[in-house]
Amino acid sequence: MPHQGLDKNEVEKLKEKFGENSLPIKKPLSVWMIFFSQFKSPLIYILFFVGLISLFFKEYIDAGLIVLVGFFNALLGFFQEYNSQKTLVALRNIIKPKALVIRNGHKIQIEAKDLVPGDLVVIGSGDKIPADGELIEGLNLLVNEAILTGEDEAVAKKPTDNANKLFMGTIVIWGNGIMKINKIGQETEIGKIGSSISEVKETKTPIQVALDKFAKNLLFIIFIICSIIFITGILHQENFWEIFRTSIVLATAAIPEGLPIAITIILTLGMKRVLIKKGLVRRLLSIETLGSTSVICVDKTGTLTEGIMKVVKSDFSDNNKAFLALTLVNNQRMNLEIALWDYVKKQKLFDPHQIFNEHPRIYEEPFDSEKKYALSINKINNKDTAFILGAPEIVLSFCHLSAQESADVLKKIDIWASKGWRILGVAFKEDGKLKEKKGYAWLGLVGIEDPLRYGAKEAIEQAMQAGIKIKIITGDHSKTAEKVAKNLGFKIGPNNILSGNELGMISSQELKDRIDEIVLFSRVLPHQKLKIVTALQAKGEITAMTGDGVNDAPALKKADIGVVMGSGTEVAKEVGDLILLDNNFKTIITAIEEGRLIFSNIRKVVSYVLSNSFVEIILIFGAILLNSPLPLTIVQILWIQLVCDGPPNIILGFEPKEKDLMKEKPRNHKKDGILTRASMFLVIAVSSSIGLLTLFLFLSFYHRTNNLILAQTIVFATVATVSLVYIFSFKNLTKPLFKINNFFGNKYLLWGVLYGFVLVFAALYIPFLNKILGTTPLNLFHWLIILTIAIISTLIIEIFKFFTNKNSE
C-alpha cells in the first residue's frame, strides 16, 4: 500500500505544538557593537592621544576638531560595516534547505524548516538529512555521520530496529529511502549539542589579506617618514609639541584606515548585483576570484542545455517490458526520470503510478554517475525480475547478444547520438543471479532531446572574447556532446575530444601536455573531473568547475571556483562558491564580469587613496627642509581628511563597467598584486609632482604677500580641490579622460564631489569655521590659480597614464 503521510490539519496542529524545524543561528553583531568596534582602531587611539595633548596645551579648538574627525571616521565606518553585514546576512538566507515530503499521498517539495514530527521524507544520494528520524523504507542506504561522530566512513542503514536511526545534518552517500521524522529543531541530536550546521564562516578574501599586509607596510613607511619629519623639524628649531602633533596628525591622515571597510562593501554590493542576475555568491572570496577565471569546465546538461527533457524516440523489442523498466527504475527525482515517467504516462493502458505501487521493489542500485546505470529488482507476477537502465554501451555489455547484434546496436547508438540526443539502454533479467551484471536481455534504446539553452551560444562567444577557455565535461556519449558543442559554435576535431576511457589511461603529465587542445571530455566519471582540474591548475589556470552531484564535491572543492546548479545536491552546494539559481551558463559569465568590475574598481580606489595620502607628506616635509613655515595647520590637515577620505573615495568603487572590460585577458589573482607597476608608478609620480607643485605655490604666495594665513588657506583649498577634480581621471586607469565611456554613469560620485566642495567652501566662507581652521576667504583670482593647478594636476595624471600604459602594451 502506498504511503499517505500526514494531512493538512495534522501538519498545522503539529507545527503549532513543536514549532519550526530550525537550529539557533549565531546572531550578527548589534548596531551598538558595530559602532563601538569602530573605535578599536589604533589610528583612532593615536588621534585621541593627540587630542589629549592639545587639551593639555589648552588648544581646545584643535582638540575638539580631532575628536570630531575621529567620531566622523567611526560613523562612516559604522554605516559601511552595518550595510555590509545586512547584505551578507540577506544573501545567506537566499538558499533554504528543501525536503521532498509525502503528504496526502502526494510527493511535494517544502522548506525543511516546515517539517513536523510524523512527516514522511523521501531521501536519496546527496541529500542532507533534514531532521532526526527512522528509516521505514530503503535499500542499500549509506549515510556519512561525520558531523556527529567525526568518522568519515559511511554507515549502512536498514529499516530495522538496530540500524534505522537517521540524524539531522548527516549526508546520504548512496541509495534511496523514506524516513519518518521523530524529532525536529533543537530536540535533534545536533540541536542538543548546540551546533549550527547552516552557518557559513566568512574568512578574509585574498584581496583583504593583501590590503591588511599592504596597510601594515604603509603604516610602517608613513611613521618612518613622519618620524623623519619630526626629527628634521626639531633640527630646524620648530616648536617641539607643535611639530610632534603635526607629525602624528599627518601620519593618521595619510593612512587609509577606512580602505578595508570600503573594499568589503564594494565586494558585498557586487555579490548583491550578481544575485539580481540569478547567481548566489556564497563567500566574499568567490566574487573576487571569479574575475580572474581563465578556464570554465562546464557540464553540458542543464547548463548549456535547458535541462527540460523530452523522449523523442524509442526502439524496443518488447514495449511492455520496456515500459515496466522505465517506470520501476525511476524515483522521479531527476529531470531525466521525470521525462521517462511522462513518456510512459502517455502510453495507452499504462499508468506508471499504479505500476510502481503494484510491483514492490526488493533491491535497488541507484543511478550513479561513476557506474552510469541504475538497477531495480521488483516483484512481477510473484516472480523477481531485474531491470537495468543506463548508458547504452554499459547496459549492452551486460547483455547476451551476438557480435552482429551488438554491432547493429552500436551503429544505431552512433546515429542517434549524432543528432545530439541523450541515449539510454534498457535491459531485463528474470532468471539466474539477478544482481550479477551478465545474462541480461536487451530491450532497446530511448532517445531524449534536451534543447540548447537560449543565450548559451552568445555567452560562450563573450567568454572567448574575454580570453576565457571553455572545456565541456559531460557523462554523455561523445557524438551527442560533439553535436551539442558544434551547435554552440565550437570547432571540434578528433584532437579536441577525449573520452573518459582515454582519460583514465593517460598520466597526469600527459593530460597537462594535451589539455590546451582538448575542448570536449565525454563519458567522464566524477572522480576524473578532479584530474582535469588538477591538470589545468598545474598549467597556472584559474579554474571554475560546474557540478551538482555528491560525487562532484571533490572537484568543486579543488577548483578555484566551484559552480553548483541551483537544483544540485546539498553536498555540492556546501562546497560550492557560486550557486546558479537559474542553472544558466550565462550567469557564470555575468558573475565573472562582475568580479572583473569589482577588482577594477578596487584598484581605482587604492590608487586614488594612496595618491592623496602622500601629497600632504611631501608638502610638509619639503617646507621643513626649506626652513619655511608649515603650509598646513593640524586642523586643516584634519579637515582635508574629512573632504578626501569620506564619501568620494568610497563612491569611486561604484563605477559602472567599462565597455571593453570583457575583452581584456584574465588576470592571475595569485600572482598579480592589487596595483600593477604602472599603477604604482602613477601613484608615486602623481603625489610627488602635485606635492611639489603645491609647495611651490605656497612659497610663492607666502614670500610675495608675507601673509601666512592666506598662503595656508590657498594650499588648503588647492589640496582639497585638486583631489576632488582629479578623481575623475581615476575613473579609468588606462583610457584618457575624454575617452571614458559613460562619464556620468556614476551619479553617486558627482554627489560625493559636491559634498567635498561644500566642506571646502564652508571652511573658507563661514566666519565661525575661519576662526577654527585658521582660514580666510579667497577671491576670484585665487580660485583661478587653484583651478589652474587642479587642471595641471589632472593633465599630469593623464600624461603619466598615457606613457605607463604605452610602455605596458
State how far the Cα of 525 lies from the Cα of 421, in Å rounded to an integer: 19
Side-chain-side CA neighbours of residue 16 (13 Å): 6
Q: Which three cell numbers stand for residue 365?
A: 542500485
Strands 155-157 and 165-166: unpaired
Please spell the DSSP secondary structure of 468-529, one letter per residue.
-EEEEE-SS-HHHHHHHHHHTT----GGGEEEHHHHHHS-HHHHHHHTTT--EEES--HHHH
Cα separation, 330 vs 316, in Å, equals 18
Active-site entry in 62, 114, 119, 299: 299
Helices 60-92 and 42-56: crossing angle, nearest 10°? 160
Q: Which amino acid is at 626?
A: L
In DSSP notation, 525-545 reads -HHHHHHHHHHHHHTT--EEE
Q: How far apart are CA 582 and CA 70, in angstroms?
A: 46
DSSP 30: P
Residue 589 near residue 668 (C-beta atoms within 8 A): no
On whether the CB atoms of residues 344 and 352 are closer than 8 A, the answer is yes
Catalytic residue flag (residue 577)? no
- C-alpha to C-alpha distances, 255 to 360, 504, 624, nearest whole angstrom: 73, 55, 21
Cα(279)–Cα(272) distance, integer angstroms:
9
* Residue 330 to residue 351: CA distance in whole angstroms: 14
C-alpha cell at 290: 571569479
Instruction: Write the secondary structure of 283-307 as one string of H (helix), E (strand) and C (coil).
Output: CHHHHHHHCCCCEEEEEHHHHHECC
Residue 369, classed as helix, strand or coil, is coil
SS3 778: coil
DSSP state of 560: S
Supply φ then ψ for residue 564, to 5 degrees: -120, 140
- 3-class DSSP state of 177: strand
Distance CA 471, CA 535 (A): 13
Rounded to 5°, angle at Cα 211 from 208 and 214:
155
Cβ distance 117 to 136 under 8 Å?
no
Nine-digit cell string for 645: 577620505
Amino acid 671 reads K
- Which of 213, 208, 188 lies closest to 198, judged by CA? 188
CB 148 within 8 A of CB 169: yes
What is the C-alpha to C-alpha distance for residues 722 and 791, in angstroms, rounded to an integer?
Answer: 8
Active site residues: 299
